[in-house]
Structure 1
Amino acid sequence: MSQPPIRLLLVHPDSSTGSQLQQAFCAEGFVVHVCADAAQAAEGLADPFAWDLLVVDGSLGEGAAGLCRQVRRALLPLPVLMLAASGAEADRIGGLEAGADDVLPFPFGLAECLARCRALVRRHQLGLEPTTVLRCGPVAMLVEEHRVCRDGSEVTLSPREFRLLRFFLEHPRRIWSREQLLARVWGESEAIELDPKTVDVHIRWLRLKLEQDPACPVLLTTVRGQGYRCG
């Protein structure tokens, strides 16, 4: 069974060099999206699971370092290769201290660049346990890691909020009554003692944390007279 292509986000300010690198990567089976600056790349990183590798040119200076810090601060599961302006020790150390997993100094051969990219992805994948990812719109849940991200930024949920959101994400587009949610998320024995409006409270808390406009929810919607639905 063939392996899926490596999805690469390439950040390079020189359109000619960026195009050459893109062609070389695509010829080797990579799926490549090129950004000219750090601002475009930051938008591309909004979905933490869209890419397998980030390659950023060090000539962007603070922009390149900022992208590395964005990846590390958000705990994104993404290895980073920085293309250094030179082989000087200061450039190599600067890239590593910014958060890059590897630094490739200029000038470099395309074969070495491709090999380093494959090695980074391989090491990263070997170091991770398979992760279940549940999604709905801009929201993604890493089940085993007990993490939730919205537009690439991590959101802190209580254990009950996490379980309720996970239940919705595992059953998208299905309508659930308050009583059903109490029984399935809180448990039959606990549901007997609880006011069904407990569900309303937790839904409101989730909306405040996850919806762009909690007053007009699109992730967790109310179906009048029936209950709630995800998506």
Structure 2
Amino acid sequence: MKRIIIAAVLSIAAISGAQAASIVGLNNTGLNSAGTAVGAGGAADGSYKLTAVTGNDGLSTGVPTITYDNQWPINPWLANSGTSKWITPTASQSQTLDAWSAGSYTYSLSFDLTGYNAASAAFTGRLAADNSVVIKLNNQTISNASGFTDWTSFSANSGFVSGVNTLDFVVSNWAQNGGNPTGLRVEFASSNVAAVPEPETYAMMLAGFALLGVVARRRKAA
């Protein structure tokens, strides 16, 4: 009996070494440079990068700006909260953009799964955009949405890779010659990924299973 208990403990200890963890780097929009708390309006978002801008002369790629809570277009946009805030491509959140043709703004978020089993990764979240957005994981479309007065859910449980992964939120701003800002808001609800067991973990698992086998054979022979 003692050997069975020892074997079980060894196996459980080995398996627990590969338990699921949250995915580090899946940050909501509007965080500070440390990625730990909602940032102040007018500050740079510390997690997202503006990696592509098309259809709007004069705007360049870089770091998006966190919006102020009580400045237009907050209301009619979903109000900022202590969980997330809207981010915009310009320091002036109310700036009119894309007067005569639609513009495209790609906000990118990267996270590293080195040391984890990419096939086990998954996440869920919700977002809003002015006006519409296509969500891509490692260049593969996983969802799309439109609207800035309500949330749309999105998720992924496949398409992850070992190492650095990239989520792209490609926002389209429909043409309008006045009062035409654009922005993105993202909140992650859950995420998980299993760690890849270390070599010593495999050894512990094998030792546990081997001991269980020995005990089982002896019990059968008796």
Q: TM-score, normalised by structure 1?
A: 0.26
More helix by share: 1
Larger Rg: 2
Higher relative contact order (CA 8 A, sep 6+): 2
